[in-house]
Amino acid sequence: MELNTIERDDIGAAAEDLVVLPAATRKVFVKTYGCQMNVYDSQRMTDALAIDGYAATDAVGEADLVLLNTCHIREKAAEKVYSELGRIRELKAERAKAGREMLVGVAGCVAQAEGAEIIRRSPVVDLVIGPQTYHRLPGVLAKARSGEKIVETDYAVEDKFEHLPQPKRAELIRRGVTAFLTVQEGCDKFCTFCVVPYTRGSEVSRPVAQIVAEAERLADAGVREVTLLGQNVNAWHGRGEDSEEWGLGRLLFRLAEIPGLARLRYTTSHPRDMDDELIAAHRDLPALMPYLHLPVQSGSDRILKAMNRRHMAKDYLTLIDRIRAARNDIALSGDFIVGFPGETEADFEATMQLVEDVNYASAFSFKYSPRPGTPGAEMNDQVPEAVKDERLQRLQALLLKQQQHFGASLVGRTIDTLVEKPGRQAGQKVGRSPWLQPVIVDEKAGEIGDIIQVRITKAGYNSLFAELA
């Protein structure tokens, strides 16, 4: 595609139409829900739109295009979109009175899951575009501007990443010293509670050369820490530069060779895809940060089976032992679902026990939300809301205790911190610990992008306070 070769100045400078603004002066407001992959996708859409003449704005009322990048994982997440669309309807009406257009687009996983239903339910929407077709956005917008309602939700055969334009270096520099890089998308695991295999399609790995080139571009723009993303990131595989089949472990070693890239992370992993090479990378690769998000969902074998997780609680615990043997200071994080259909008090107790056994540094826990089209939603023995509430409270109290304990254990220690951005309070900067916690330091402690040695003086709920060591 020649998208990359069009310069913004060449676009639409002649049209002086009140209804349709000249392309180079259009503004886009993007709101992102859901996981990090949506954050990454929103950036890539913004990059594609920049070439189409759209500048990003934080003021929704000024936007010629509003894009909601949505999440379908739980009912609450999906419903947020419709309340937002209600507000946007009023803004769009106001702009119409002033003779200005406001196109409204729904992207992301709700777009993929609900398609045309979104426009039926919320006629303010002009276009619905699924995650596999973002590279078609400029063309789709041209049609939408001429008044056509558009639903673009097929799983495109072409590689969207190859067709999405790369951001300008200046834009990368503006985005800061940490970055996301999607290496894998989609999921073939079909856990019975989860919509992702339906909204993101089947597992696809990006090729090594594409990933390396993108990581080099990030490093060249001053990025020090890259987080590789995928719904099942450790299922990533590809043909390496040596023509052998690489897994994520090999890829991490390769990326660590890029000058400037000091820190690597990856998320989200599935326990079944933690292979020996990846565990070895945690032992042998200093750039790989000692933090691992490894969701288990439940500690009950019966529930794990009903969830189609395809492993037992003891497999997970054995795996954790092996990972800790490779890297003893690794911080573990996880995801939990309480109140999956059929979950008894004993099943829930097994989850509490697993949490006690693992001792997490942080974790996310959710009440089970039945999702349309998933097997879980059709199961008998749905758990009453009040029971879910009560279990969630107990689980979260335990996880919070563990998280605070982990923070407190770091007080007095000297650790590496990547200085990331100015702090909220004057005179401060915020860094990032190897274990992903924000670290508050004096602004003179280092420049943004520096990795400095600090001594932890205090642990807050989420963040650490430190002084230069």
| 90 or 190: CB nearest ligand F3S | 190
| Residue 30 beta carbon to ligand F3S: minimum distance, rounded to whole angstroms | 14
Nearest CB to ligand SAH, comparing residues 145 and 270? 270
Q: Taking CB under 6 A as the rule, which mask of x and - marks residues 329-368 in contact with ligand F3S?
A: ----------------------------------------
Nearest to 124 by CA among 146, 149, 145: 149
Question: Is 128 an interacting residue with respect to ligand F3S (CB under 6 A)?
Answer: no
Q: Omega of the bond prior to 267 within 30 degrees of 0, cis? A: no
Contact 334/358 with Cβ under 8 angstroms? Answer: yes
Q: Provide the minimum distance between the beta carbon of 369 and ligand SAH in the complex, in angstroms, as a whole number.
A: 4
- Alpha-carbon span 198 to 155, nearest angstrom: 10
Does residue number 107 form part of the binding site for ligand F3S (CB under 6 A)? no
**Please, are residues 227 and 420 in contact by the beta-carbon 8 Å criterion?**
no
Residue 364 binds to ligand SF4 (criterion: CB under 6 A): no
Distance CA 10, CA 52 (A): 10
> Is the four-CA dihedral 38, 39, 40, 45 of positive or negative sign?
positive
DSSP state letter for 461: S
Which 8-state DSSP code applies to residue 318? H
Q: Is 196 near ligand F3S (CB under 6 A)? A: yes
CB 342 within 8 A of CB 368: no
> What is the secondary structure of 216-246 as a DSSP string?
HHHHHTT--EEEEE-TTGGG-EEE-TTSSEE
Judged by CB under 6 A, does residue 197 bind ligand SF4? yes
One-letter amino acid of 343: E
Q: Which is nearer to ligand F3S, 34 or 299 (CB)?
A: 34
Which region, judged by CB under 6 A, interacts with ligand F3S, from 11-19, 23-31, 191-199, 312-320? 191-199
Decide: is 187 part of the binding site for ligand SF4 (CB under 6 A). yes
CB of 187 to ligand F3S, least distance (A): 9
Which C-beta is closer to ligand SF4: that of 198 or that of 465?
198
Among ligand F3S, ligand SF4, ligand SAH, none, the one that 190 touches (CB under a kind-dependent 5 to 8 A) is ligand SF4
Task: Give the binding range for ligand F3S (CB under 6 A) out of 90-98, 196-204, 348-356, 411-419.
Answer: 196-204
109 makes contact with ligand F3S (CB under 6 A): yes
Among 85, 128, 194, 226, binds ligand SF4 (CB under 6 A): 194
- Residue 34 binds which of ligand F3S, ligand SF4, ligand SAH, none (CB < 5-8 A, kind-dependent): ligand F3S
Site for ligand F3S in 24-43 (CB under 6 A): 34-35, 37-38
Q: How far apart are CA 423 and CA 466, in angstroms?
A: 13
DSSP state of 19: S
Task: Give dist(CA 296, CA 192) in Å, integer.
Answer: 14
Q: Shortest Cβ distance from residue 374 to ligand F3S (Å)? A: 12
Q: Is 183 in the site for ligand F3S (CB under 6 A)?
A: no
* Span 245-274, contacts to ligand SF4 by CB under 6 A: 270
Q: Beta strands 438-442 and 428-432: pairing type?
A: antiparallel
**Binding region for ligand SAH (CB under 6 A):** 73-74, 193-194, 196, 231-232, 268, 270, 295, 297, 335, 337, 366, 368-369, 371
Of 36 and 57, the one with the shorter C-beta distance to ligand SAH is 36
DSSP 394-450: HHHHHHHHHHHHHHHHTTT-EEEEEEEEE-SSTTEEEEE-TTS-EEEEEGGG--TT-
Q: How far apart are CA 394 and CA 106, in angstroms?
A: 36
Q: Does 71 bind ligand F3S (CB under 6 A)?
A: yes
Question: Under rule CB under 6 A, how many of the chain's residues touch ligand F3S?
Answer: 14
Output 184 or 402, the one with its CB closest to ligand SF4: 184
CA-nearest of 307, 410, 312 to 354 is: 312
Here the tokens at position 26 are: 């259009």
Task: Write down the least CB distance from residue 392 to ligand F3S, Å.
Answer: 18
Residues of this chain that bind ligand F3S (CB under 6 A): 34-35, 37-38, 71-73, 108-109, 195-196, 199-200, 231
